[in-house]
Amino acid sequence: MPDLLKKPFGTHGKVHQITPENAGWRYVGFSLYRLRAGETAQEATGENEVILVMVEGKAHIEAAGQDWGELGDRMDVFEKTPPHCLYVPNAQQWQAEAVTDCVVAVCSAPGHGGHQARRIGPDGITLTERGKGTNTRHINNIAMEAEDYCDSLLVTEVFTPAGHWSSYPSHRHDEDDFPRITYLEETYYHRLNPSNGWAIQRVYTDDGALNETMAVKDGDVVCVPRGHHPCGAPYGFEMYYLNVMAGPRRHWRFVAAPEVEHLM
C-alpha cells in the first residue's frame, strides 16, 4: 500500500515534514509547526520558495532580511476569515516567534528568484463559493494561477460543509500536456470540526493501479502523487484543507474521471 496518509508525529513543535525525497516526488514540500506563545521556529529556504500560512493564531515573523511584524488574527481556522501569509523566496531565511499559541504551515516548491518577499492576505483574499448542491464548498485562494506571487507554488484553502464532497467531480492533474492537463503534485492538510471527527479521501487512477481510500483525522496530511483525489465530509463534521501544488509549470489544468465527466 502506498504511504499517502501522513499522521502528525507529535502535538508540539514541528509535527509534519514532507519533502520531495520522503514523498517520492520532485516538487512539493509541506511542513507544519504547532507553537506555544513565546516559542520560535526558523528555517532557511535553500533552493525552494516558501509561503508561510498562519493557519491559526499570531506570530511575529522576520524573513528575507525584513521585520514583517505580527501576522495572524484567525484564532480558529473554522472562523473562515482570510489568512495572513508571507511569501519568502529561495536563498533566504525566516523566523516566526509565536505571540499566541499558533499553527504555521510551510508550503514549499522550487524557487527561481523571480519574486520578492511579500505579505499575502488578508486583504485581497475573499471567501468564494464553488460547486452546487452537496458539492458546494468555499475557497480562500492564497496563491493560485491568477495571483502572480510565485515561481512554482499554487496554494489555496478549502472549507467543505458537513455532508458535502470536495475536490469533486473527481479529477487528476498528473500529465505535462499543457493546455489539456498539467503535472502537479499535491498535499492536503486536513482539519475537522469538531476535531474528533473524520473524513474520507480517495486517491485512484483510471486503471486501478493506484486505488486508496483513507479515513482522515484532524491534523492529517494526504499526499497525491497522481490520479483522482476526491474527499468527503460526513454529516456532522465540517472539513478544512490547505492545498499545496507544484510542478514543472505554474498552471492548474485537470481532466475529469470518466465516470463523472457528465457532471462537469
Mean of pLDDT values over 128-140: 96
Is the pLDDT score of 106 beyond 70?
A: yes
Q: What is the DSSP string of 83-146?
A: PPEEEE-SS-EEEEEESSSEEEEEEEEE--S-S--EEE-STT---EEES-GGG-EEEEEEE-TT
138-151: average pLDDT: 94
pLDDT for the residue 264 = 83
Q: Is pLDDT of 187 > 70?
A: yes
pLDDT tens-digit map of 11-67: 999 999 999 999 999 999 999 999 999 999 999 999 999 999 999 999 999 999 999
Tell me the sheet residues that pair with 56.
103
The dotted CATH code for 5-263 is 2.60.120.10
Whether pTM > 0.85 for this model: the answer is: yes
